[in-house]
Amino acid sequence: MKFKKSEELYKEGLVHLVGAVNSPVRAFTSVGGNPLFIKKAKGSKITDVDGNEYIDLVLSYGPMIIGHRHRKVQKGVAKALKNGYSFGASTENEIKLAKIVCDAFPEMDKVRFVNSGTEAVISGVRLARAFTGKDKIIKFSGCYHGHQDSLLVAAGSGLATLSIPGSKGVPEGAVKNTLIAEYNNLESVKKHFEAHDDIAGVIIEPICGNMGVVIPQHNFLKELKDFLKSKGALLIADEVMTGFRSKFGGVQELLGVTADITCLGKVIGGGFPVGAYGARNEIMEQVAPLGGMYQAGTLSGNPIAMAGGIATLTELKRQDPYQKFDKIGSTIETILIDTAKKYNVSLVVNRFGSMLNPFFTNTKVTNFEEAQTSDQQKFAVFFWEMIKNGVFLPPSQFEAWFLSSAISDKDIKKLAVAIDKAILVVSKMNKK
């Protein structure tokens, strides 16, 4: 497999792009080598500029849930394009998509569309503060909620990959109202409430996807919600990754909890730039023009993005692929575990529905500290061996793999062969 054109584009990109990329994880910093440049995708496959085809387990970090360039999404977007690209005014499709989203989430009466998951979280946090009249927000170590200043501390994803504890350019004042707790540790949350009386709420990824897939243990989420309710604080669910991934709606419902505010992104636009935040009426009525919490955006509710979202979610509901996802996810999990045992490689696999990923450790992973025990050098070797064998993975130990409904039995067989070859190479590292 050759990467000549990707290498050439990387060098060319260095001239006018920062690191030749527009998002840090794409730079392949943690796995080494030059980043791949993608030319096209269709169904379960993605193809780079050198013509190498891969089974895609990145899926634009989640939103391509029914596969790339689904014909119904293509048709919906093409129809919208004929009418114009952006109006800076309201359209009927905003109402249609809002109904689809609200119907899928219990206790979500109203939703506000924005342009990204980061925007959704910024607005969701501001809304929690507006509703409660309090300033402080608790987040969990290893959870990434976009690049807003106040939450860009103890984050996972790209920051974990690059070993950056926060970010330059974020002043102390921006994070003074952010408190850090440990995921799956309710006592760490309670201690903050003992020390502070101005906590507006807690923001959490119900299933973490930015320190690898990490799952709440022992009714953690339900107990967290009950505790927050007793304190008059809100639970903000960041479902930018998990929304519509494990059921038609939010993963919070599967976990027996309903958040006060839910933040969404990615999948509700079918791959176009869309985010949203929603809640029950009494909370959403704080938002302008109904209330005093201001948030605006010229491109919010963009007609092309709305068309992509309507087509994607309509087709997703028709397909109802969630049992298929669970079956395929379980199969891949078993393949990973059995192959690691075969070659005597320490490996833990975390999975929830259509999200999974392996950690090269023998430690059970339930929080960010445990996730960091994974051998990232082994992951880097594994990553490139999977690439060489036709499987496109996120170039970071701390990113979830995603499944699409377009994945086939043939793809699974190819994936099994790639995993066997990749873990065999990793096993040889133990002998050096």
Check if 183 is active-site: no
DSSP-assigned letter for residue 271? T
* Selected catalytic residue, list 10, 61, 144, 277: 144
Q: How far is CA 366 from CA 129, 188, 211, 213, 349, in A?
A: 29, 14, 10, 9, 11
* Burial letters 286-325, b for 16+ CB under 10 A, else e: bbeeeeebebebebbbbbbbbbbbbbbbbbbeeeebbeeb
Q: How far is CA 432 from CA 7, 373, 385, 429, in A?
A: 30, 20, 18, 5
CA distance 121 to 204: 10
* Selected catalytic residue, list 266, 277, 378, 411: 266
The helix/strand/coil state of 132 is helix
* Selected catalytic residue, list 238, 260, 375, 411: 238
* Burial letters 272-281, b for 16+ CB under 10 A, else e: bbbbbbbbee
DSSP-assigned letter for residue 398? T
Report the alpha-carbon angle 324-326-330, nearest 5.
Answer: 120
CA distance 395 to 91: 38
Q: Which two tokens stand for residue 74?
A: 């293509």
Asked if residues 343 and 92 have their Cβ atoms less than 8 Å apart, the reply is no
- What are φ and ψ of residue 391, in 5° steps? -130, 125
CA distance 88 to 299: 7
Check if 338 is active-site: no
Taking Cα atoms as reference points, which of 189, 263, 261 lies closest to residue 230? 189
Q: How far is CA 47 from the centre of its chain?
A: 22
Task: Count the alpha carbons within 13 Å of 163 in the hemisphere toward its beta carbon.
Answer: 4
Check if 72 is active-site: no
CA distance 374 to 352: 19
DSSP-assigned letter for residue 53? E
Asked if residues 391 and 55 have their Cβ atoms less than 8 Å apart, the reply is yes
Q: Which two tokens stand for residue 265?
A: 């992104």
Catalytic residue numbers read: 144, 238, 266
